Amino acid sequence: MPKLFDQVRELIAECGESRYSISKSTSISQSQLSSFMAGDKGLGHDAMERLLDHLGYEIQVKRKKS
């Protein structure tokens, strides 16, 4: 998941929205979001889904190419 986390951190950094606003809209605490952005902690599936939905993205699973 580290690659996914890095990509989501980049999306957050580039979206131009404050972490406070993201926190309020997604019900992810500011401290949890700050820890995630600092790379100290990850996010659970539900929080990640809410965050990506807020940013206008979704996770899609597909089979690796052999």
In which band, very low, low, confident or very high, does the pLDDT at 1 lie, cut at 50, 70 and 90?
Answer: low
Q: pLDDT tens digit string along 6-48? A: 999 999 999 999 999 999 999 999 999 999 999 999 999 999 9
Res 60: pLDDT: 86
**Does this model's pTM top 0.75?**
yes
The residue type found at 58 is: E
Specify if 61 maps to a domain: no
Specify if 62 maps to a domain: no
Specify if 66 maps to a domain: no
- DSSP letter for 21, please: H
Burial grade of 51 (CB within 10 A; 0-12, 13-18, 19 or more):
buried
- Which residue range is the domain that position 46 belongs to? 2-55
- Distance between CA atoms of 21 and 4, rounded to whole angstroms? 22
- Total domains in the chain come to 1
